[in-house]
Amino acid sequence: MWCGPCYRQHPLDRFYRHSPADEDGFEWQPPEDMNRHTHARDGDNLVTPFQCDLCTFRNMQLRNPIPGHAVDDYLLCCIRRVQLDALWGREPQTVLATLRSAKQMLKQWRIVGLTPHFPALGPYPVEDSFGVRVAIAMVLKSLEPGRYHAEYQQWETIRKLSAAHANIYGASLEGACSLRAVGGESVSSKLTLTRSPTYSLWSTRFKQGCLRRMGQDVRQDWAITLAAMNALVGAFERAWRGASEQREQRTIVMAGAFSVVGFCGSFRGNEVLLMDLFGLRKYLDQLADKDYVIVPLLGRFKGEAHARYHLQPIAAETNSGLRVRHWLQRLVAFQAREGLTHGPAFGDKHGKLVPPREIEGYIMDTLQALKDEEQSVIPPDLDCFEQFGISRSFRRGSTSTARTRGVDEKLVVLINRWRKFEQSKGKRPVMEMQDHYSGLEIIIPEIVKYSQAL
């Protein structure tokens, strides 16, 4: 029998525990939070399923641990860590309130002579019915070097092990035979009933507690300002005039076209790379006399079951002087000299999509060079390679700029949810590009107001 304060973290425990810190990196926290995740609380077993470390060890190894055995000691350390994480999946106030209520029920039952009764809290089957094995794999993986920290990996990385195990369980003999679903034919409307241990109550508590212990170091791409955007495109223009080698020209023209389309269309980086070369050529020719261009995207989009076209109107030149048509025409002309008329607009000389890192590397190099200039439009304390990125910087900068320049909020939402608009009611059929464009003609003037304001 354990009391809460006695059930403490193992002496071998070196797992990361997040501490709040100010902008200068100084860590501090309220006194009541100093011992979070380091020990249990009385009443924890009333809200989270609990088995002692020895029973948990036996359930997985079918034997007792060997005293002094290094591997067994380390496994016991991991068991204690995941148990504490599971217990800390509930806040102290919840545990304390449950414990108080349990004591009050006992008191009231005694008044009328009722025999105190609660559901049995064990023993559990001799098996890993909680999902402790997967939890141990997750905390061990957290000790590996991560992208942002050399000492540990973040929650968003280690949680993928649980998702992988759930997928494997669903494909297993046990999972496939026990799986049941409630709902119709649509996958999105089904409610699945499964015995996968990674969906047990204990596992859910563990994931909540582990996330709270580790915290999340979310590093969003910084928004690129309109001034920085104009400086960036200006640098590309100067580089283009001085470029003589074909490979250098390819890098510059792709970086320029990617930047203006990503910013003016408020696209995520992966969406810009779906721009279709044939459709782009077609609409640049057909709409040469218009004050807008059509950016055609072709591919499989998240939440869609098949590949399809999406057409996005963008102002040919924005109010601040970003020349979208100019860079797209330059890209199309360059690809034509390479003999390319179909495939991805951002394709290499073989027509294969260029790796995003090549475009991003050149853009980040250019931003870093701009930052080092006198009176730079980029704050001197920013590390462009760490804090900017093609995934979100252009989109976030575009949205912020549009709002500050008076674009109607409904239009901002429409532009940034363009796929949702395309999938109105989820039943819009796949159409030929010409039919698709005809359906957009009525609303093009309204949509173009967004990019025109930039």
| Alpha-carbon 310 to chain mean position | 23
Average pLDDT estimate for 264-274: 89
Q: Among candidates 419, 275, 293, 415, which has minimal Cα distance to 359? A: 275
Which residue in the block uniquely carries the two structure tokens 């525990």?
A: 17
Range 20-23 contact pairs with CB under 8 angstroms and sequence separation of 24 or more: none
The rounded percent of the chain whose pLDDT value lies above 90 is 59
Task: Name which of 128-137, 340-349, 374-383, 403-412 the model is least confident about.
Answer: 374-383
Quote the tokens at residue 91.
């806040």
Tell me if 262 sits within 8 A of 269, measured CB to CB: yes
* pLDDT classification of 424: cutoffs 50, 70, 90: very low
Confidence of residue 219 (pLDDT cuts 50, 70, 90): low
394-406 tens-digit pLDDT: 999 999 999 999 9
pLDDT of residue 384 exceeding 80: no
pLDDT of residue 254: 95
Q: Quick: pLDDT tens for 287-309.
A: 999 999 999 988 655 444 444 56
What's the pLDDT at 303? 45
CA angle centred on 159, ends 178 and 30, rounded to 5° = 125
- Residue 362: per-residue pLDDT: 92
Cα 107 to Cα 85: distance, rounded to the nearest angstrom: 31
Res. 161 pLDDT band, cuts 50 70 90: very high
pLDDT at 194: 86
Query: Which segment of 51-65, 284-298, 432-446 scores lowest on mean pLDDT?
Result: 432-446
The kind and range of the H/E element at 58 are helix 53-61
Q: What is the pLDDT of residue 184?
A: 60
pLDDT, one tens digit per residue, over 14-56 is 999 988 766 556 677 777 788 899 999 999 999 999 999 999 9
Q: Kindly report the number of other CB atoms within 10 A of residue 314's CB atom.
A: 28
User: Is 423's pLDDT higher than 60?
Assistant: no
Q: Are 293 and 314 in contact (CB under 8 A)?
A: yes
Q: In the prediction, which pLDDT does 385 show? A: 72
Report long-range pairs for 445-449 (Cβ below 8 Å, ≥24 apart): 446/411, 447/312, 447/313, 447/411, 447/414, 447/415, 448/291, 448/292, 448/313, 448/314, 448/315, 449/407, 449/408, 449/411
Domains observed in the chain: 4-214 (no CATH), 226-452 (1.10.443)
Poorest-pLDDT segment among 2-6, 288-292, 384-388, 414-418: 414-418
Helix boundaries (H) for 243-355: 246-264, 269-272, 277-286, 324-337
Burial class (CB in 10 A: 0-12, 13-18, 19+), 370: middle
User: Taking Cα atoms as reference points, which of 138, 134, 133, 145 lies closest to residue 213?
Assistant: 138
Residue 394: closest CA among 253, 271, 269, 233: 269
Global pTM value = 0.68
Mean pLDDT of the chain: 86
Sign of CA dihedral 269, 271, 277, 283: negative
Q: What is the DSSP letter of 293?
A: E
pLDDT confidence band for 449 (50 / 70 / 90): very high
